[in-house]
Structure 1
Amino acid sequence: MEKSRKTFVDAIDKMIAAASSMHPDELLFSYNGILYPAAVCSREVFQALESFEARSDDVILAGYPKSGTNWLSQILTDLIAISQKKTPGRESSVNAEDVQEFPYLEVGDAEKYERMMKLPSPRFMVTHLRPENLPKSIFKNKVKILLLIRNPKDVAASFYHFSNGLATLPSYETWDDFFTDFMTKKMAWGCYFEYLSEWNKYADQENIMTVTYEEVKENPALAVKNIATFFGIPLTEEQLQLVVERCSFQSMKKNSEKTHGTFGNIIFRKGCVSDWKNLFLEDHNQKMDKAFEEHIAGTKLGKKLKYDLYCKA
């Protein structure tokens, strides 16, 4: 198994084991007014993260939980491999001597940022954080960020199943209970509508490219091509097809045990659009439609989400 993949799986197993011994009330903690999973993040990590020095050639993927970050991570790591003249998926595409870190910027121990200074460029990072909680150096050094957003009803539906399948998050007896927490800012990583509102302030910056889960699903080849162009990675037709093939839901689910361990079954559940229709009732629709209208409709990100197309019953 690739060393980087083993690091990833081992880190997840460790977090799940830590959470399993916690009381349900201890699973989340608050930092600067936002809740985070205690087995995954810590105050010490957030404090150390503030002074993290980003490089201008870092590659960052930003997305709220359950927006498709594991999916887009696959695409970006494959594109980075291609940019380094390596073939995605081959054992030889990873230098076993490289020091590897868990890719989520806010996850791990406080010393990880020191170790990351030794990582070769380009460093790939993923984050669920809002922009105001990211290190200032990311924006100062104009690091390129791929911002991934997804229609809020599918985010909620996916987050509900995810919470009930993963020990690091509180579980819910009913969808109603979860929906209430989702709409009243009691979720890990904070309120999704506030997340969208905050990122919307940065959406016009030239070093930020926004993609939606739905558009990648609709035309993966075009999405991969556009992402590669944004990061300045030339692709042959053959390379493009290889990335598209490897990032299909079927392919990722099939390889999930190798890539994500037992966590794979929880992450790769359905990978579809409009699964929210299996959970939302009229009351839920009305509440979320109203919240969307108040927080994000009319903004650049709000328009990009095509709410009427994907979220109207």
Structure 2
Amino acid sequence: MRDLTARILDPMAEAGGQLSALYPDKYIYDVAGFPKIRAKDLVRNPLEQVEPFDPIFSSEERAETLAPQEDGSFLVITSARRSYRSRAVIITAGVGALEPRRLDAEGVDRLEHKGLEYAVRNAEAYRGKRVLIIGGGDSAVDWGLTLKDLAAHVSLIHRRETFRAHGATVNRLIAAAEAGELELLTPYELKAVLGEEEVREAVIVHKQTGKERSLNVDAVLALTGYVSRLGPIAHWGLELEKNRIKANTRMETSLPGVFAAGDITTYPGKIRLIAVGFGEAATAANHAAAHAHPKLRVDPGHSSGPSRTPRWRVRASSIESASA
């Protein structure tokens, strides 16, 4: 809407970050205007929305270095050994590079991708199967509620009596368990996963009594969270707080001309919701536009009103080179 050019660097093969990589089929309930929407649809809609503005997508390229230049621009060098120059940079790196919290139990490593997974990429793959879900956060609870209508049987175990997920969905989970729609077992941990070529059985142990129990299962979903790492961003000279980039109300970082939005940011009162990230992205984009070209006013007005933006092309990534 500001008539700038933009290049999007994404280390993944497809856009969408966690929504595409970790839970594309999961419903999201807290985005304004959508009573519920699958994560993959929430990704597809903005891609369609931005298509008429011709953004440049550079997939499977990770930004490795960020170097301020004498003229005030920035040179970004990527994992593909390409370099891009821009007048402003916006970092929307989510929670950084994600690695699942791996289980420490017998048979886990041997049966990974043979019935044991750390993410759900296709809900239909579990239709008619006996599924064990491990975890107590939003992902585990949400998938328990989703798969109970697809799977032949769903058991969910958590090592604590209390859950970290949103209260409303925890109440739905408890109600589903009381109605016999799924099995809820607390406080239990996984002791072993058994099977030759694929998962056939899981052994769980009660945290307080030590009593073991065997479950006949076709699939184990270890949804116990992820460990995040900033990667190269940690070395760009940005002011950080607990592996997140400190930003002000204009979404400016400690480096003039570098902005940030979404889960990668932190500031007093920060709420980590997708809906909040949308607003932060709009704030960052408009302040980045004004930084890239000072003649642009920060407030663009409403998209339904007459344009007050001068008609010029501001090159957001004007120089591209590739080394051998």
TM over 0.5: no
TM-score when normalising by structure 1: 0.22
TM-score when normalising by structure 2: 0.22
Pick the structure with greater CA Rg. 2
Q: Which has the larger strand fraction?
A: 2
Q: Which has the larger helix fraction?
A: 1
